[in-house]
């Protein structure tokens, strides 16, 4: 039964849409040289595009996210989108004021084309015949969508982690299309440590016999390997402090089992996260997206791609989190240092947070204030 | 002292003087910008393109929330990334006395900015002199409120010392004023005679010769 209060608060219902492009023979040419098409992107929009089409904000999701950034997919939907605390009416990314777009990344499995999609050439899922996509390719696909929506310039591109890499790739590839950028908890090049964790996650999947070299779509699939991969990921998203606070050495049974049953709460938490992930994510997508993150390097060609005159007019808000050891603050500072050389308008804050890498997704008055203030200024000065 | 708009009285008096020296529409870097009062004033009243640097997360966040461009960090390191003449004016207010390498800092600042405005507490003010001479104690004043064991002020500068220093390193003074402040530094007046003994602060705008 609905309580009177929940009847008053009408749910913000968002519709998931699909955009298909790159129909053969005009396939998209990927960074690796392969051709891919047709490509479908699942996307959702919130708020209204203003008459001058100047209030559009693109939100880029992190590695396991999807297009459902905020609100509910239907009236009975219990779970809001992944950034519902940040995006919505009156929230820092205010949908009363801005037009928000979020699409599922190329290579993922939540509505957009990825290794689990049917290959039109064979009528079977791509599996490992799916070409290696990079962050650059994901961003190129997003650009097609943005243009399809009739938007020439984005007021802002916002994202954390792998989403932050997309933000930075937008800056490098399409600086003329963006007014401002908010890269959160991210890096300009994936570190050896980050690659190492990704490789362990991939090996967990590939060592599962049910993975079958990526050809498992007619069978149950490598659920054990995928669960272990997610457990590893979760460890890197937390922090020593967060784990100590959340679990300590507490047991999830009455006494030590003196067996390998899983004694500690932290173990059962990781098992639960692993199991939950298997229900919603494709193992091959994890392989492809982690590889795209590992390939991400804006300093590869000697000298930073971010040192670029085209970025002189772009405003930046760079945010790192003090307990994030996956993309530590020194990496955000390297980004800031490169951007300063362009004469870009750059703000930077290292938010004091104990949550580890995950902190960018957790409710935080500090982060709310930063994003609200920054976007408000950009809108008033350049888009209003 | 000429100004287009009178700076607000709730701003520290040395900042009021500094604000009046900044050209409208210019590019300004404020080192140790705290809550951004000076930057906000310059942006609103003089349409300045301002950037601030401060060490405190809370202060930086406060600045960004109010729509200012501010970087969190140690400005001693942060200034080195900027290209030559990125700013018209760099402001260093009441911090010089806390810098380990003031000479190298000033050289850096004159690389990234055409002009640098420096304000600093005058250690040769009569009340400091009196405390040393009469009581034989390290001076503690409104402007220098610390004891010897907890002071962040590691450089003892007087107006005369600073001018000699500028001469030695070949930097020219464009503008200068000595001020005497009261009421917690929010009010004051400029001092014309016997500056080095009567002024609580020296403020100078300098440039490369």
Instruction: Please give the pLDDT value at position B8.
Output: 64
For residues A280 and A366, membership in a common domain is answered with no
Q: For B41-68, how does the pLDDT look when each residue is reduced to its tens digit (9 = 90+)?
A: 999 999 999 999 999 999 999 999 999 9
CA distance A157 to chain B (A): 18
d(CA B182, CA A313): 43
Alpha helices in chain A (DSSP H): 4-8, 135-148, 162-173, 192-206, 223-237, 240-246, 265-280, 283-295, 329-341, 365-378
Q: Per-residue confidence at B9, pLDDT binned at 50, 70, 90?
A: low
Question: Among the three residues A225, A258, A292, which one is the final residue of a domain in this structure?
Answer: A292
Look at residue B1 and tell me whether its pLDDT is greater than 60.
no
Q: What CATH number does the domain containing A276 carry? A: 1.10.1740.110
Look at residue B150 and tell me whether its pLDDT is greater than 70.
yes
For residues A245 and A103, membership in a common domain is answered with no
B5 to each of A104, B12, B13, B68, B176, how far by Cα in Å? Answer: 51, 16, 15, 20, 20
Judge residue A320's burial from the number of C-beta atoms within 10 Å of its C-beta, 0-12 exposed, 13-18 middle, 19 or more buried: buried
Close Cβ partners of A27 (under 8 Å, ≥ 6 residues apart): A35, A36, A37, A38
Mean pLDDT of chain A: 95
d(CA B178, CA B160): 11
For residues A165 and A201, membership in a common domain is answered with no
For residues A313 and A175, membership in a common domain is answered with yes
Look at residue B101 and tell me whether its pLDDT is greater than 90.
yes
Q: Which of B61, B81, B82 sits opposite A370 (nearest CB)?
A: B61
d(CA A168, CA A170): 5
Look at residue A1 and tell me whether its pLDDT is greater than 50.
no
Q: What is the mean pLDDT of residues B182-196?
A: 85
Q: Is B49 left (phi over 0), alpha (psi -120 to 50) or beta?
A: beta
Q: What is the ipTM of this complex?
A: 0.93
Portion of chain B with pLDDT greater than 70, in percent: 95
Instruction: Please give the pLDDT value at position A6.
Output: 45
For residues A213 and A182, membership in a common domain is answered with no
CB A106 within 8 A of CB A35: no
For residues A53 and A173, membership in a common domain is answered with yes
Q: Per-residue confidence at A364, pLDDT binned at 50, 70, 90?
A: very high
**Which domain, by its residues, includes A131?**
4-190+297-383
Q: Tell me, yes or no, if A324 is annotated catalytic.
A: yes
Instruction: Please give the pLDDT value at position B2.
Output: 39
Instruction: Please give the pLDDT value at position A7.
Output: 44
User: What is the Cα A64 distance to its own chain's centre?
Assistant: 7
Instruction: Please give the pLDDT value at position A8.
Output: 44
d(CA A164, CA A169): 9
Q: Per-residue confidence at A2, pLDDT binned at 50, 70, 90?
A: very low
Q: What is the pTM of this model?
A: 0.94
Question: Among the three residues A292, A309, A334, which one is the final residue of a domain in this structure?
Answer: A292
Q: What is the mean pLDDT of residues A40-45?
A: 98
User: Best interface-test mutation with B: which of A348, A378, A380 has the largest number of B CBs within 10 A?
Assistant: A348
Q: Tell me, yes or no, if A161 is annotated catalytic.
A: yes
Q: Per-residue confidence at A303, pLDDT binned at 50, 70, 90?
A: confident
CA distance A346 to chain B (A): 6
Q: What is the mean pLDDT of residues B91-105?
A: 94
Instruction: Please give the pLDDT value at position B185.
Output: 76
Q: For A231-255, how does the pLDDT look when each residue is reduced to its tens digit (9 = 90+)?
A: 999 999 999 999 999 999 999 999 9
Question: Among the three residues A274, A292, A310, which one is the final residue of a domain in this structure?
Answer: A292
| Domain tally, chain A | 2
For residues A152 and A34, membership in a common domain is answered with yes
- Tell me the chain A residues in contact with residue B57 when contact means C-beta distances shorter than 8 Å: 349-352, 366
Contact A349 B81 (CB under 8 A): no
Q: What CATH number does the domain containing A74 carry? A: 3.40.50.1820
Positive or negative, the CA dihedral B131, B132, B133, B136 is positive
Domains of chain B by residue range: 13-123+156-208
Q: Which of B64, B72, B82 sits opposite A373 (nearest CB)?
A: B64
Return the CATH superfamily for domain B13-123+156-208: Vaccinia Virus protein VP39 (3.40.50.150)
Q: What is the mean pLDDT of residues A56-72?
A: 97
């Amino acid at each position: 039964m609905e309580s009177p209060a929940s009847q008053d608060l009408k749910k913000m219902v968002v519709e998931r849409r699909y955009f298909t492009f790159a129909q053969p023979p005009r396939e998209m040419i990927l960074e690796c040289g392969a051709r891919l098409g047709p490509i479908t992107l699942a996307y959702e929009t919130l708020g209204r595009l203003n008459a001058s089409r100047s209030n559009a904000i693109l939100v880029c999701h992190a590695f396991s996210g999807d297009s459902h950034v905020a609100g509910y997919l239907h009236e009975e939907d219990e779970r809001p989108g992944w950034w519902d605390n940040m995006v919505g009416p009156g929230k820092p990314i205010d949908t009363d004021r801005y037009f928000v777009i979020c699409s599922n990344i190329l290579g993922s499995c939540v509505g957009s084309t990825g290794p689990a999609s049917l290959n039109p050439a064979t009528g079977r899922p791509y599996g490992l015949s799916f070409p290696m996509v990079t962050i650059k390719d994901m961003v190129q696909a997003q650009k097609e969508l943005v243009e399809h929506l009739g938007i020439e310039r984005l007021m802002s591109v916002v994202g954390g982690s792998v989403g932050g890499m997309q933000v930075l790739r937008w800056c490098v590839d399409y600086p003329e299309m963006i007014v401002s950028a908010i890269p959160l908890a991210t890096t300009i090049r994936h570190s050896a440590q980050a690659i190492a964790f990704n490789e362990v996650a991939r090996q967990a999947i590939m060592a599962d016999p049910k993975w079958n070299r990526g050809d498992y779509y007619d069978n149950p699939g490598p659920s054990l390997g995928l669960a272990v991969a997610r457990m590893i990921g979760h460890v890197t998203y937390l922090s020593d402090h967060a784990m100590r606070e959340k679990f300590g050495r507490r047991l999830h049974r009455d006494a030590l089992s003196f067996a390998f049953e899983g004694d500690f709460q932290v173990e059962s938490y990781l098992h639960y996260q692993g199991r939950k992930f298997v229900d919603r994510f494709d193992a091959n997508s994890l392989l492809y997206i982690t590889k795209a993150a590992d390939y991400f390097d804006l300093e590869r060609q000697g000298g930073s791609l971010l040192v670029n005159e085209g970025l002189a007019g772009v405003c930046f808000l760079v945010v790192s989190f003090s307990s994030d050891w996956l993309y530590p603050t020194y990496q955000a500072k390297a980004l800031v240092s490169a951007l300063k050389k362009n004469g870009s308008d750059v703000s930077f804050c290292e938010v004091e947070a104990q949550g580890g890498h995950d902190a960018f997704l957790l409710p935080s008055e500090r982060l709310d204030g930063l994003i609200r203030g920054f976007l408000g200024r950009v809108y008033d000065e350049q888009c209003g | 002292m000429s100004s287009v708009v009178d700076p607000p009285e709730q701003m520290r008096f040395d900042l009021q003087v500094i604000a009046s020296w900044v050209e409208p529409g210019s590019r300004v870097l404020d080192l140790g910008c705290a809550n951004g009062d000076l930057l906000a004033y310059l942006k609103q009243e003089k349409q300045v393109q301002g950037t601030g640097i401060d060490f405190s997360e809370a202060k930086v966040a406060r600045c960004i929330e109010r729509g200012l461009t501010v970087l969190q960090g140690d400005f001693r390191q942060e200034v080195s990334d900027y290209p030559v003449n990125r700013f018209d004016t760099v402001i260093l207010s009441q911090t010089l006395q806390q810098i380990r390498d003031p000479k190298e800092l000033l050289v850096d600042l004159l690389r990234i900015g055409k002009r640098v405005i420096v304000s600093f507490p005058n250690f040769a003010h009569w009340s400091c002199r009196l405390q040393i001479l009469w009581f034989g104690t390290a001076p503690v004043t409104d402007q220098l409120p610390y004891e010897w064991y907890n002071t962040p002020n590691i450089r003892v500068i007087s107006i005369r010392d600073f001018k000699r220093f500028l001469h030695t390193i070949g930097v020219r003074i464009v503008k200068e004023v000595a001020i005497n402040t009261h009421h917690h530094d929010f009010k004051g007046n400029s001092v014309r005679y016997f500056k080095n003994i009567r002024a609580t602060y020296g403020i100078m705008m300098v440039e490369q010769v």
